[in-house]
């Protein structure tokens, strides 16, 4: 960290600040310029709040962090090696990571009933997904909107898992529900609105359950990595970052703005795996395929795609859901692109992928 003192700061004050810093086990190094004195801080400053230092003296003009405030999330923490998040699923372990195949997560916004979730699970599995997503607890801006079926939906996710062997990803919104959610979920999701729900971050951090951490609507990349740091610092190394669109000044044609440049930026900052959710980002199913392609080209490790057997009847987020046919079609298009980028040695679906009609009939066997 660097402290810039105001011009004309009395040298006694500079000495006093330096003294104070030494008492924090930090070594201050003074650099006297023509107009300003600058103090470089040497030592473990990652855990210090810059505002805390700012408070030391009214003569401090600026405190600048040179080292990043995140530590366990930083690339350096793992000697610049990407981390791997291995998730055991009934179909076998699935690994999220830069040097691993692209992982596909698909499913509806919310779990509506047994038939619907099992049908969707079967469909997305046949088309190449490794995980089923589906909300039991739904954060909705209106108290009058469908809030998810809660605990009973968790049971249905369990049935879909059993029927297909897919891993389950579902959101937890309340510390009080974590145990119930973790009993069913293979990956626990922290939603965008809870990215800075620090109680929840600490609590999932105290388990070893893999965590999908969605970026907050207006969270900076640094805040997002600091949210991951909460989980990592609590002892859980299994964090996957998911970009799902940020809030900007233009919301007329897309629900959010997909910030795809996070892929190379995160690669340069952190070892954690990166997932992209083009469905929430754009809010419209027609824009999902091109953004899914772009995400793969940008280097994402995983995609989360909203799929619903009948979007027109979906209890939530229908406009951004692909149909099962649409998802199968998308996977057929993504397969050669994934291969092109070396992320899939072979197509993620069974070589003789049945056309959708037959998937349905398979599903009904």
137-196: contacts with a copy of itself (CB under 8 A)? 139-147, 173-177, 193-194, 196
CA 154, CA 26: separation in Å to the nearest integer?
A: 50
**Residue 324 engages a copy of itself in binding (rule: CB under 8 A):** no
Q: Left if phi > 0, otherwise alpha if psi is -120 to 50, otherwise beta: which for 64?
A: beta
Site for a copy of itself in 36-75 (CB under 8 A): 36, 38, 40-43, 46-49, 51-52, 54-58, 61-62, 64, 66-67, 69
Nearest to 324 by CA among 298, 362, 294: 362
* Helix residue ranges, H only, 23-150: 50-54, 114-127
Nearer to a copy of itself, 177 or 325 (CB): 177
**Residue 254 engages a copy of itself in binding (rule: CB under 8 A):** yes
CA 94, CA 87: separation in Å to the nearest integer?
A: 5
Question: How many residues interact with a copy of itself (rule CB under 8 A)?
Answer: 112
Token representation of residue 287: 């824009």
- Shortest gap between Cβ of 11 and a copy of itself (angstroms)? 17
- Shortest gap between Cβ of 98 and a copy of itself (angstroms)? 12
Nearer to a copy of itself, 182 or 293 (CB): 293
Binding mask 272-311 for a copy of itself (x = CB under 8 A): ---------xx---xx--xx-xxxxxxx-----------x
* Contact with a copy of itself (CB under 8 A) among 106, 246, 274, 305: 246
- Shortest gap between Cβ of 262 and a copy of itself (angstroms)? 9
Query: Can you name the residues that pair with 211 across neighbouring β-strands?
Result: 188, 239
**Residue 22 engages a copy of itself in binding (rule: CB under 8 A):** no
| Residue 50 CB neighbours (<10 A) | 16
Site for a copy of itself in 189-228 (CB under 8 A): 193-194, 196-202, 217-218, 220-223, 226-227
CA 29, CA 32: separation in Å to the nearest integer?
A: 10
- CA geometry: angle at 62 spanning 215 and 31, to 5°? 125
């Amino acid at each position: 960290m660097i402290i810039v003192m105001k011009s004309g700061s009395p040298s006694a004050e500079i000495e006093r600040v330096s003294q104070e810093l030494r008492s924090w086990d930090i070594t201050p190094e003074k650099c006297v310029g023509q107009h300003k004195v600058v103090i470089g801080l040497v030592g473990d400053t990652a855990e210090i709040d810059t505002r805390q230092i700012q408070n030391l003296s009214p003569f401090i003009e600026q405190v600048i962090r040179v080292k990043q405030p995140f530590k366990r999330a930083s690339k350096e923490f793992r000697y610049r090696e990407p981390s791997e998040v291995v998730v055991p699923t009934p179909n076998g372990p699935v690994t999220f990571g830069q040097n691993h195949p692209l992982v596909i997560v698909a499913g509806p916004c919310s779990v509506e009933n047994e038939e619907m979730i099992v049908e969707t699970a079967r469909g997305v599995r046949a088309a190449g997904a490794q995980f089923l997503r589906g909300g039991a607890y739904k954060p909705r801006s209106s108290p009058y909107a469908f809030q998810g079926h809660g605990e009973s939906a968790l049971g249905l996710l369990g049935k879909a898992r059993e029927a297909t062997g897919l891993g389950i990803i579902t959101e937890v919104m309340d510390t009080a529900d974590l145990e119930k959610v973790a009993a069913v979920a293979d990956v626990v999701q922290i939603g965008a609105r809870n990215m800075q729900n620090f109680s929840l971050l600490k609590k999932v951090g105290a388990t070893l359950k893999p965590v999908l951490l969605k970026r907050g609507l207006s969270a900076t990349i640094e805040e997002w990595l600091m949210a991951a740091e909460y989980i990592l610092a609590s002892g859980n190394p299994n964090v996957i970052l998911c970009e799902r669109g940020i809030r900007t000044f233009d919301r007329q044609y897309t629900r959010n703005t997909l910030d795809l440049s996070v892929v190379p930026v995160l690669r340069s900052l952190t070892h954690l795996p990166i997932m992209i959710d083009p469905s929430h980002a754009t809010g419209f199913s027609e824009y999902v395929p091109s953004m899914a392609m772009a995400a793969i080209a940008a280097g994402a490790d995983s995609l989360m795609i909203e799929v619903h057997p009948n979007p027109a009847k979906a209890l939530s987020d229908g406009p951004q859901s692909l149909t099962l046919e649409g998802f199968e079609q998308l996977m057929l298009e993504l397969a050669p692109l994934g291969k092109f980028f070396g992320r899939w040695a072979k197509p993620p679906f069974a070589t003789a992928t049945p056309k959708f009609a037959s998937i349905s009939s398979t599903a009904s066997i």
